[in-house]
Amino acid sequence: MCRSACLSQRTGLSQSTLQRPADVRLAREFTSQPARDRFDIPFSLHSMTLLRLLLLARFPLLGSYSMAQRKLGGSGAPHDSFDDAIEHPHPRSASSSSARRSADQAAAADDLADSRGANERTALLGSTTSRDYATEARRDRRALAEAGHPEAEGRRRPWSLRIDFAVALLLLFANGYFWTMSMAGVRGQFIANTALPKHAGSMGLPVLISFLACATNTASLLAFAVPHESPMLAFYTSILTAIFALTTLIISVSVTQLRVVEGPLTFIVLALAIVSALHAALSAALTDRYAPILDPPEELDPDYEPETGCWSSTKHGLRSCLGFLGISLPIAAAHIVILVGFILITINAIVRSVDASVEQPGQRWKVQPWLWQRRNFPELGHGFFQPKGREYRVHLSCRGIGLDDPPQFTASPSNTSSALQRPTVRRTIVVESERGIPGALDAEWVLKMLREGDLNSGDIEVRVCFWDRPGYGFSDASSTSSAPHIASALTQVLSVSGELARLEPPPSLEGADDAATVGPPSPLARSGLILVSRGESTALTSLFASIHPRIVHSFLYITPVSPSTHYLSPARSRFSAVPAFFTRTIPALWTELGIKRTWWAIRGVPRRRRVLAREGERVNGLIERAGLQEAHELDLGREADGAKAWERRRGRYPTRPTVVLGKSSVGDGGKKFVDDVVGEGLREWDREWKGGKSGCGSGGEAEQKCRDAVRSLMSLD
pLDDT of amino acid 612 = 94
Give the separation between CA 192 and CA 664, rounded to whole angstroms.
34
User: Is the bond into 42 cis (omega within 30 degrees of 0)?
Assistant: no
Residue 136: name the closest of 155, 156, 117, 158 by CA: 117
Most confident of 21-25, 407-411, 549-553, 692-696: 549-553
Domain over 364-508+521-562+645-714 is classified CATH 3.40.50.1820: yes
Q: What is the pLDDT of residues 275-291, one digit of tens each?
A: 999 999 988 888 777 76
Q: In the chain, what percentage of residues exceed pLDDT 90?
A: 39
Query: Using CB atoms within 10 A of its CB, is residue 699 exposed (0-12), middle (13-18) or buried (19+)?
Result: exposed
Q: What size, in residues, is the chain? A: 717
Mean pLDDT of 582-589: 91
Mean pLDDT of 4-26: 48
Mean pLDDT of 384-395: 80
Mean pLDDT of 582-587: 91
Q: What is the pLDDT of residues 474-531, one digit of tens each?
A: 999 999 999 999 999 999 999 999 888 888 654 444 443 443 334 444 454 578 899 9
Could you give the 3-state DSSP secondary structure of residue 682?
strand
Domain ranges of the chain: 2-118, 159-302+314-355, 364-508+521-562+645-714
Residue 525: name the closest of 559, 554, 497, 490 by CA: 554
Cα–Cα distances (Å) from 3 to 9, 195, 371, 391, 641, in that order, read 10, 70, 90, 85, 87
Average pLDDT, the chain: 76
Q: What is the pLDDT of residues 407-462, one digit of tens each?
A: 443 333 344 444 444 557 888 999 999 999 999 999 999 999 998 888 877 678 88
3-state secondary structure 509-557: CCCHHHHHCCCCCCHHHHCEEEEEEEHHHHHHHHHHHHHCHHHEEEEEE
pTM of the model: 0.74
